[in-house]
Structure 1
Amino acid sequence: MKHAEPQRLQLPDCDKLKTFGFLLIPNFTTIGFASAIEPLRIAGLAAGRPLYRSVLISSDNQPVAASNGVRVMTDSSPEQAPALDALFVVGANPIPEKYDRALLAWLRRLAEQGVPLGGICTGGHLLASAGLLEGYRCTLHWENIEQIKARFPRIIVSHQLYELDRDRYTCSGGTAALDMTLQLISREPDGAEIASRAAELLLCERVRNARDPQRIPLRQKIGNTQPKLSQIVTIMEANLEEPLELAELARLNEVSVRQLERLFHKYLARTPSQYYLELRLQRARELLLCSEAPVGEIALTCGFSSAAHFSKSYSRQFGLSPRRERQHSGMAVPARS
């Protein structure tokens, strides 16, 4: 029996419209997806005419469940997809252990055809798995940066909100997808004005620059009245592997140890040593859950002299030992840990 050829998605004939595809990976994040697709529609309202059309794609053209359980209907499978002006992979949370080979091959074909490729949230991980980010700057959500760096050491990964490097567009997810999409819109003819109007319609007070940090700096949490405290914490964050003594921190910031302790107690409700330890343990947790580094290696990287000391401190902070935490996360513990 001869099978009918799959029908391609029929779209209105309009040469001026750009077609952006969104490949939805099961357990994708809805906020990143919505933040990327909605500015395209709003840009048309701002311009007074449609500018973009969006095509939702899944590996089998079946509804895809997001990480919050919402199921989204799709328009096409990769084989049926129309010609695209760009494709964005909306990544999953958590990152899948492996991807369908046919999907990876399709992405490689798009790259060969010169189609710009983007990743939203963890979408860059799929592009990296297809070998399509080597030689490019990219980013993804800060929780997953160490994971992609460990698996793909030849890729240049930044902590920026988004990266627009030639024909690769990646963002850290969440509302950063909105900033990235507005920035892409602004590159088009008359795009700056359209993007500005679209931002107003979206009640977006400011389109963030790519260099804006993913995580909220301490100075924004405590205000701008305590530059010394912000500076001290910045130094702590830069010296996790070999923690500095309190006297050295005080000397570098031209305060006394007692002044240092008063600042932390007043604004952070903990001692400097407690805060420093929490920074190191939080960093250790990120490495533990997002990389395959052995527990002993993570302990040294985060300034602990022994695995036993690290395990005791970790258990006190998070209620589980490092190995138990890793087992509960579903990540296999490396044999050499």
Structure 2
Amino acid sequence: MVTSAPSAGLHAPPAPPLRHYGFLLVPGFTLIGFASAIEPLRMANRAGDAPLFRWNTISQDGAPVMASNGVPVQPDWSLDQTPVLDAVFICGSNPIPTRIDPHCLNWLRRQARLGVALGGICTGSYWLARAGLLNGYRCTLHWEDTERLLTDFPDIIVSRRIFEIDRDRYTCSGGIAPVDLMIALIGQQAGCHGIAPKVSELMVCERVRSTHDPQRIPLRQRIGTSQPKLTEVVTLMENNLEEPLTKEELAQCIQVSVRQLERLFQEHLKCTPTAYYLELRLRRARQLLLGTAQPIIDVAAACGFVSVTHFTHRYREFFGVPPGRERRATSSAP
């Protein structure tokens, strides 16, 4: 009996190469960011006809690492045991520590020399910046820590987007933003283009955000209104914290009367424009106070307060504690 040769068109396409990722867990890493990064990889393996991704966890000495929510994780390797990987992601902590161990930074530099792609999750970009591995790259991190990164590394290009992919640097903000980053990376891998939509479907992500999406929810979405004048004036406030504008100047900029301006805020934000503006300035001051080493006098000036005395009074009135005491309490916390 003679059988014909099988048609070339029936051959299954070659399986995509297995990608091996490592996740460096630093003390106080955010568990939601770590989980949001590895779950899309698991779903990709499930959606594919062959294993596409493998991942392992790393700590500095191989000992268990406590997440910021108190959950301990036993890593697979220490830094010295780690083989050459396709990519390493630093799962950053909240807050960022005042000191990062030089051994960790040297290990990251060694990974870069080996050609390993490097990523930062949540505040992980700070570790890369401290190691000098973000020079010339565009990056992002959690919006609360942007000022700290810009203050310590003013020459680094930092965006406010949920994630950035710049050549072999993959960075994202915290929360569930790693889901979007990983789905984007999955879609970029050879042979995985059709896998990314399946991952999104399995994870019940009705919309995968792109690198163009901002981290913070727009005011229009937060308050459920499409008042363009209100959105415009709040944007003006946010862009003029160091030298606050008066009510009259704000009203003039958006071409309404002061009375109309006050009515907009009362109706939609349940406060006066002055109170809203002050809260914006105080919350920015708190980010700088707890996230940077700037002197309190500089923090006050950067947020539009004419004196430290006035700033301290307003800060204590709003947050219930003087700025100096809160900074000391935060820096002394384990």
CA deviations on 1:108-136 (whole Å, 9 max, x unpaired) are 11101111000111111111221111121
The runs of at least 4 aligned residues of structure 1 exceeding 3 Å deviation read none
Q: How far off is 1:331 after superposition?
A: 7.0
Q: Which runs of 5+ in 2 are unaligned?
A: 1-14
CA distance in 2, matches of 1:41, 1:16: 16
1:195 matches 2:196: yes
Matched, 1:70 2:81: no
Q: Partner of 1:46 in structure 2?
A: 47
Take 2:269 and 2:192, find their aligned partners in 1: how far apart are those partners? 44
Deviation at 1:15, TM superposition (A): 8.5
* Contact 1:57 1:77 (8 Å CA) reproduced: yes
Aligned with 1:21: secondary structure?
A: strand
For the 8 Å contact 1:43–1:195, the answer to whether it is kept is yes
Amino acid across the alignment from 2:193: A
- CA distance in structure 2 between the aligned counterparts of 1:269 and 1:230, rounded to whole angstroms: 15
Residue 259 (structure 1) aligns with = 260
2:286 partner amino acid? R
Q: Deviations over 1:289-335 (max 9, x none)?
A: 11111211221211112221111111111111121121121179xxx
Identity of matched residues, %: 56
Indicate if the aligned counterparts of 2:164 and 2:170 stay in contact, CA closer than 8 A: yes
1:300–1:102 CA distance, 2 compared to 1 (3 A):
closer
| Counterpart contact for 1:289–1:331, Cα < 8 Å | no
Counterparts of 2:298 and 2:63, CA distance in 1: 43
- Structure 1-normalised TM-score? 0.91
How far apart are the structure 1 equivalents of 2:61 and 2:302?
A: 43
Q: Which amino acid aligns with 2:124?
A: G
Considering only aligned residues, what root-mean-square deviation do their CA atoms show, in Å?
A: 1.7
Residues 242, 304 of structure 2: 8 Å contact kept = yes
1:279 Cα offset (Å): 0.6
Show the counterpart of 1:57.
58
Alignment of 1:70-109 (within 5 A): 70-109=71-110
Residues 331 and 246 of structure 1: CA distance in aligned 2, closer, same or farther (over 3 Å): farther
CA distance in 2, matches of 1:265, 1:15: 57
Aligned-pair CA distance for 1:224: 4.0
Q: Is the aligned partner of 1:230 residue 2:213?
A: no
**1:286 alignment partner, SS class:** helix
Once structures 1 and 2 are overlaid, which stretch shifts more, 98-107 or 85-94? 98-107
Moved more, 299-308 or 200-209: 299-308
- Are the equivalent residues in 1 in contact too, given 2:84–2:116 (CA < 8 A)? no
Q: Secondary structure of 2:193's partner?
A: helix
